[in-house]
Structure 1
């Protein structure tokens, strides 16, 4: 922070304004992820009638993309087009990334089509954009085009492709990609291994995932988490907890995600006491601060076991403000056991936490209906309003 202030002081003390110093300041703010500072300098640059270079736009796009700021990214894109400047690889990949994050895949594809000298960063950005928007078949077709282009796919390409196979739950695609990964020698990359383990799990091939897990050397925490989650999601709580124990034996410290997986495994198996012990160990044995997902998992742990009063009391003792998802976990348990009293309370609290979510009202209506309280169910459904999403303020240059 001190160096940033010093740089700003030097910049303000300059006798003459020039594009080079403005670009340097914008790039500096962008590197620090300071969107407000970068935009402020850019506005001043425009006010001084200085022409931004492509470097200026690339710096702004980098920070707007990392912050998932669609409005700013679109405005910068418009300014690039207006200036007659051609997109370079960095600007193109940043635009593809931010458009994909907001599911504007067709806009991302337009940017991709304008990039003639594509490198692997551009190809990967587009393949990953298609993958994250569940347009798997298009991602596979694009990968085939990549192979024809003569470029060699790298580990990032394969992570995106394996994600496609996971989304499609297609073992035929997954096995083809795995074979290609081995051929290219990318199977030793931990990110690729983690993605493959996740893919085999989502396709229901747990044993294959386990074999891959056991053959992976230098397992990081993500790799361990993938295997614990795999067992937890398929109802194999004992195996999930066994892997967690092995993780400690291997000297790998668990993280936030690890405990979400462990608590989920305990909840699905009805291991209430064990789950509470793991939850309490986060602070006492490990340096992992419990977050909303952990609290929701404990509520789910109590709820699945039918301990609805204990779940309610746990929420009321939370040291942080319970988020809507925590109350929804309790409400789901009330729906499972048909508890109208606690369910009504949980629904009210969930709506207070997130008034835009109609889910609690729907669940509560279903609870009423399951108990034959048709008048209450009808009244609740009639009172449900359709809520809109607030529009964020845009940027004015």
Structure 2
């Protein structure tokens, strides 16, 4: 309250008296740091930040944006980068507000490459952050990068609209947006393929996948694409298409790494439902890591096709 009423000295008196009467926690530190930032006193905010660190109080996702802003306002790039390292160490770099503060900090320091790297690694971005990146490139005369960023923003908006129309059961509206997009990325294709599969248009799903392979020269299907398309093969009992997708995965190196358990499970499930247990067993045998779903898929597949003895063998192997 004192901070927002421009009575920062009174706020600091309360803070100082609190430090002598009780143990300060992260909420108290956050309040006084925000107060100094709000009253344009970044140097004092950094002093409190140093005291906070010396006291062993852990920062949270509310502390970092304020500290980043304080370092940026003081022009202390070295201190700012140290805080960025702490953000990565604490695992809060994917938080929208923390990530946005770091991007803005790099932009203020004219470090566009660092800003772009953090921006690209963020799972979520709001329109304010997109505008900041576009303005950042424009201010340093890199108009090509500014236009490229603007184009990426347009694609992201269209992708969100496709997803929204899919969830609102406006299947055709989502398809219209997709077809009108002059440039599409992997998320555009995954969104429209997912909408088709969601509404049971399995043939349309497979046609879109084939079109994606033909038109998407700058990217290739990822784990989301494959695990969305394979159930369409299962519903249509389209073993040939399923084998083609599996073959494509093998040629592109997918399904070989330890973290590809999910995609291998999808392949096994497709073979199970298409009645090709031999191929399902081959995939299962070549998996380096199997999760409970992997075992369940094989057991249910054998049971579904009345191979009771084989189903029991897999069950015994599991336990």
Q: Give the TM-score, by structure 1 length.
A: 0.41
TM-score by length of 2: 0.50
Rg (Cα) greater in structure: 2
